[in-house]
Amino acid sequence: MLDNGKLRLQGVGAVKIKLHPPIEGKIKTVTIKREAGKWYAVLSVECEPKPLPASAEKVGLDVGLTAFATLSDGTEIENPRYYKEAQAKLRRAQRKVARRKRGSNNRKKAVRDLQRAHAHVRNQRADFAHKVARTLVALFGLIAVEQLNIKGMAAGMLAKSVNDAGWASFIAKLTYKAAEAGRELVKVPANGTSQRCVCGAPNPKTLSQRWHQCESCGLSVPRDHASALEILRLGLSLLGGTWPT
């Protein structure tokens, strides 16, 4: 229970807490965890949804590694690659741990510094995902995304890049933000979205082919843009809608 800026815990008592963001709604559960030498209280709350004004705007979203995501209107969202940028710092922190004597205070401090460096990357990635999801939910009434097998994709040669992109966390945030705002989010099968055109014609490509050129309808756009268009078409078809003209 929160009381005058303090959290009352059974068996512990009142503990000072820094709230971010402010609590809205009725607290249902409290989970205490320790991460990188710091203590955190994770609160789940029950609150009323806050629907945004209705929007007729629709978008298909294709996540990727070159760009974090490409929208069906051709907009590209840059991939920040936080882990890649932090790799030099993480390697130095890891070397410090390796050089310290096991069980020593210096090693404990080096381990904590390494944990904090990893936590900083996770926090950067989470903040980025929150901001992008919030922007998309504010702009579009319908958002179509692929139902990706992210665990399978993160087990191959591109594992580091896939994990650094943080697609699973982003889609999870986008899902609950859309529900809270009264938006429609639809997940479509990922199979073949890059191998056919939005007009329905087959358009096979290898991974190295980054341009979509359709001989049937003449559509000529970057590969990820074409995929986003197809994702939107599939989303509309699942909802019984029609392709906008």
- Positions marked active-site: 62, 146, 224
Residues 6+ apart with CB under 8 A from 159: none
Cα–Cα distance for residue pair 115/96, rounded to 1 Å:
12
Place of tokens 């009725």: 26
Contact 91, 117 (CB under 8 A): no
Q: What ranges in 140-222 are assigned the alpha helix state H? A: 150-153, 159-165, 167-181
Place of tokens 């429609």: 184
Question: Which helix (H) or strand (E) is 6 found in, with range?
Answer: strand 6-9
Cα–Cα distance for residue pair 119/98, rounded to 1 Å:
19
Q: Return the axis-axis angle of helices 105-139 and 167-181, rounded to nearest 10°.
A: 40
* Residues counted in the chain: 245
Place of tokens 């922007």: 135
Contact 121, 82 (CB under 8 A): yes
Half-sphere CA count of 233, side-chain side, radius 13 A? 16
Q: Is 49 helix (H, G, I), strand (E, B) or coil?
A: coil
Question: Which helix (H) or strand (E) is 138 found in, with range?
Answer: helix 105-139
